[in-house]
Amino acid sequence: MADTRVSLCGIGLDNPVIAASGSFGYGAEFAELYDINCLGTFSFKGTTREPRFGNPTPRIAEAPAGLINAVGLQNPGVEAVIAEELPRLSRFFHKPVMANVSGFSVEDYVYTCSRLDREPQVGWLELNISCPNVHGGGMSFGTEPEAAAAVVRAVKAATTKPLIVKLTPNVTDIVSVALACQEAGADGLSLINTLLAMRIDLGTRRPVLANGTGGLSGPAVFPVALRMVWQVARAVRIPVVGLGGVSRAEDVLEMLLAGATAVEVGAANLVNPYACRDIIRDLPRVMEQYGIEKITDIIGAANG
């Protein structure tokens, strides 16, 4: 029987499939559809120090083989997440959860991460330094190695749980940012976040999104994500979580072959709310098809 178990930063997962932040909320809506404990885990909605309403509408645009979003980190703020969302989550999800954190300053990141670090059900902190849809924060920390290292170093000094840093693809050299995060103390890396993109309405001759630009996700970005995971995994010593356009069990195996330890599924959940469940169910069959008995045996096998 296929063995799908992996270990991410010392925490065991029944399988490498993680529902990505921004596509799974805090899990409650999906828990009404199926038992989400079948997941390896999930990364809950990006959380900031203060509540955020997000960007003005329209903030979603369709694209060939993808979706462009400029939601803008809408969330109730870390205190509400701790007081309301985590207690509710504990009633239907019985595994460690990944806490995705965004901010607009180093101090914001440190405060929010230190608050979530104390919560028993939080297994990992996912530090989002790569959101392209907000002004004055997010991606601005992830585009320069020195800025990325500074926020990682500060958060590590204030927390104890594994810190996974989410990287932006909107850079010339993602490897240099990855190495800077590793040297600053990151325990893992997740990549890629969305690619900066836009659509223009031919009728109005204006951008479709009120924000002008947004982040492209979906199958269109998978080959780019795979290439970047392969580059980063070859360069670093810490675990890599691969994401970007993953929608099939075959995509999971490709990501692992490129060097990922686990894989996040994002936009596919918005197309099919059962996407993660279906990928997990299909994974043993696809492993058997390609002669894979133990999924950890293929991690990085394409790196030569």
**Catalytic residue positions, numbered:** 131
> Where do we find the tokens 């019985």?
94
Residue position matching structure tokens 């601005």: 140
CA angle 224, 243, 251 (to 5 degrees): 80
- The pair of three-digit structure tokens given for residue 124, joined into one six-digit string: 């990992």
CB contact set of 7 (below 8 Å; sequence gap of 6+): 13, 261
| Contact present, 4 and 13 (Cβ < 8 Å) | no
| Phi and psi, residue 196, nearest 5° | -60, 130
Helix segments in 118-221, DSSP class H: 145-158, 174-183
Q: Describe the chain by its helix, strand, coil percentages, rounded to 5.
A: 35, 20, 40
Q: How far from each other are the two terminal CA atoms of the chain, in whole angstroms?
A: 27
Distance CA 192, CA 158 (A): 25
Q: What is the DSSP string of 52-79?
A: B--SPSP-EEEETTEEEE-----B--HH
Q: How far apart are alpha carbons 80 and 255 in whole angstroms?
A: 35
* CA 86 distance to own-chain centroid: 19
Residue 275 has phi, psi (to 5 degrees) of: -55, -50
